[in-house]
A and B are shown apart, each in its own frame.
Chain A
Amino acid sequence: AQRVTQPEKLLSVFKGAPVELKCNYSYSGSPELFWYVQYSRQRLQLLLRHISRESIKGFTADLNKGETSFHLKKPFAQEEDSAMYYCALSQGFQKLVFGTGTRLLVSP
Chain B
Amino acid sequence: GAGVSQSPSNKVTEKGKDVELRCDPISGHTALYWYRQSLGQGLEFLIYFQGNSAPDKSGLPSDRFSAERTGGSVSTLTIQRTQQEDSAVYLCASSRRVGTDTQYFGPGTRLTVL
Contacts and interface: CB of A to CB of B under 8 A. Distances in A.
Interface of A: 4, 43-46, 49, 86, 88, 92-101
Contacts of B35: 96, 98
B34 to A, nearest CB: 10
Contacts of B90: none
B43 A98 contact: yes
Interface of B: 3-4, 33, 35, 40-45, 48, 56, 59, 91, 98-100, 102-108
A93 B43 CA distance: 17
A94 B103 contact: no
A99 to B, nearest CB: 5
Contacts of A93: 98-100
A6 to B, nearest CB: 8
A69 to B, nearest CB: 17
